Structure 1
């Protein structure tokens, strides 16, 4: 079932289900109670009226045996209950204890059965409301006796009973819905805690655990979840330590190789031309290898939870000009806001922008512009290049580790970790980085950082 085009949640389904069950049960109970009470009360009323009618008929019969009897006096002397009306047919004439009643007050079907010598009773709707008529043949005096009893009071009692039962059914439904609300909270609250804990863990806080519970039904889930997170944390820490150890162990031979290559480059002119070309290839690969090791160490530190949280206020424009100079570009490429301060780890933030600038230079046809702007309480840094741009379906994939492609942007000259490190660094600074199209048709990398409060 959908509400407003959306499938209702677990809480709404529980409330609705228990409310409907309570409504169904209370409705069945109310209808059954009303029908039983109505049948009992009407049956009792009919028996009372029938007994009264037979007694009154016997009384009238005894009085009418006197040929000089006054019919009106006889009817008055019967002593019928208040509200009851007696109608008598004697010697072809109709008499009644009430002035405005007569032959037409008795239903035709009842008159026919009494005329045939059969006593009968029937409920009908009179001008004064629901009534009950009992007809008794009195052949001893050639008379037909009818007694009409009003059922207005009984119907009023039944209406009151029905109102009470309907109110009880509504209260039971509300109680069922309230029970469903309470039950849904009891069910959904632990699920929400698990969802919040999972989101926190996914955000990088691997120390998050679910609190212990005394509920035996939830204790297993809580224990399993915390055990899973412990195992996950141990595996991540183990992998991070392995990457860090491997990267660290590779630094020593790499340093030796770099020193040897630098020595060869110092005597480059003494080498033959073929050896010089081989030396250039080795030098380029060593530089790429060194960048790869640095990136791996940085990622291992991030995965191992060794991130340094932003702790210093950094003037962003000055940092960007400094990084532009380090990558050999004119600081005049920087435009926009010039008095922006962010709370950051300056070395890591500088490394992030250097990766973005080098990515634009190496894979994007060259860095064309760097723009700083304010959007609310956030700072946006736009890095534009002059390359062919990145297809929309690849704009998220480029931030994956070791992501490469068939285009120049994914060539082998990069490590495949620069943009992944940029995303990690932005997240540590409570920001984000994403890719879109620049106005000139190339790629535009957007970095969002929160502005430092004074």
Structure 2
């Protein structure tokens, strides 16, 4: 199974977001580490100075005969920062001002360092709280003794903990800003691609005059020039082919008129001909009529291809116009009912009468040839848009042919039999072109009443004026 990859736009935005997240996370880690080091160092420096000053005061208050037990009252009289724990360590004993501090709560490494005869400092936890502990010797004590000064670091830890949400929030904001910047950058970077895509869509829709403007970007100029060159070549090729079809059709009209006139003369003597000659004459007349229709349709199609068509807009009453158009389409034995929904027949609409009448005529003739004729026409509207639905009672159009039948020279499964009529496969294609000029469309569905047959739906937007 093929893996679905993210689009270029999504990948660029994701790259900016991930990059912003990584950078903000790195900066947050660095900021946290530097802040932690600075706060801890500052607190430890203050604690060490306080410990030194306190040790000097205690040492000055001692005499050579002072016992270890007599040091506690002296330490109690010394002012130290709030939360500081004090104690005294002797080679063989210890004494502490605060009950929170005891010998078994001191780090063994710290104690051994002191008893080895030197001062010591260390950070460790006492009663689950962080402390910076300083041990300084007291030279005037009776025997080897050290003053213990434990400064709390809980405030530093709280400050650092409060900093974490701020850094996390900054990382999130930076990531969002990075994503927003990625959206902006991709919009700027991909706007030429969007323009090329839009232009390609216009060319595919038939607007061969579409060209891209050079934006002065040397990296894109070659692509723009190639696209414009391709569009120009395609336009020239289609115009050349259209002119060829038009020229051929024009050239064929003269000999076709001669053939038509000659056959008309011969048909006047048809009754005097043998039976086989009459059959041959009938076949010749039928093919000449088909040939004449083909030439006329080719001329009309070529005008569409070269853009040499314009709408002749007139105001008409919809119901009256459709009635006249369907009545003039072909001679018929019965009247086609026209169903007026929502008073649509009384609407005044703007359209090209000749072209829309030809649309209705082509659909009617198509129904007569292949689908038993038109059974009814329904008129409807929605705001300024109108719908004309033409139903027949034929075998219907297979689903896989409902778009194919509107292609040029496509006659469908029912229209492919030579004996089924004189169609040349351009009637429905012309219907599509006439409607496209009006901005309209045509689709084919099954009949809404569930009976066998087709329903051709004409949609013309924005034509209602009253």
Regarding TM over 0.5, the answer is: yes
> Cα deviations across residues 258-312 of structure 1 (Å, max 9, x unaligned)?
0000011122222222211111000000000011111111110111111212511
**Out of 426, 443, 457, which is 1:417 matched to?**
426
Aligned to 1:394: 401
Aligned to 1:147: 149
Provide the rounded CA distance (Å) in 2 between the counterparts of 1:191 and 1:330.
59
Aligned to 1:259: 261
Q: Is the CA contact (8 Å cut-off) linking 2:18 and 2:175 kept in structure 1?
A: yes
> Cα deviations across residues 36-64 of structure 1 (Å, max 9, x unaligned)?
54346535655765676578657756754
- When structure 1 is superposed on structure 2, of 87-96 and 174-183 the one drifting more is 87-96
| Superposition deviation, residue 127 in structure 1 | 6.1
1:433 is the counterpart of 2:442: yes
Aligned to 1:134: 134
SS of 2:335's partner is: helix
> Cα deviations across residues 328-377 of structure 1 (Å, max 9, x unaligned)?
12573031223244322222222221111111111113332223222443
Aligned to 1:275: 277
Aligned to 1:67: 65
Q: What aligned pairs does 1:368-407 form with structure 2 within 5 A after superposition?
A: 368-405=375-412, 407=413
* CA shift in 2, pair 1:63/1:377, >3 Å: same
TM-score calculated relative to the size of structure 1: 0.85
Q: Is the CA contact (8 Å cut-off) linking 1:313 and 1:452 kept in structure 2?
A: no
* CA shift in 2, pair 1:282/1:101, >3 Å: closer
RMSD: 3.3
SS of 1:333's partner is: coil
- When structure 1 is superposed on structure 2, of 394-403 and 376-385 the one drifting more is 376-385
* CA shift in 2, pair 1:53/1:402, >3 Å: same
Aligned residues: 447
Aligned to 1:328: 331
Provide the rounded CA distance (Å) in 2 between the counterparts of 1:437 and 1:162.
67
1:315 is the counterpart of 2:321: no
* CA shift in 2, pair 1:91/1:416, >3 Å: closer
Provide the rounded CA distance (Å) in 1 between the counterparts of 2:356 and 2:367.
17
Provide the rounded CA distance (Å) in 2 between the counterparts of 1:68 and 1:17.
72
Aligned to 1:3: none
Unaligned runs of 5+ in 2: none
Aligned to 1:87: 87
* CA shift in 2, pair 1:378/1:332, >3 Å: farther
| Superposition deviation, residue 152 in structure 1 | 3.4
Q: Is the CA contact (8 Å cut-off) linking 1:91 and 1:143 kept in structure 2?
A: yes
* CA shift in 2, pair 1:102/1:210, >3 Å: closer
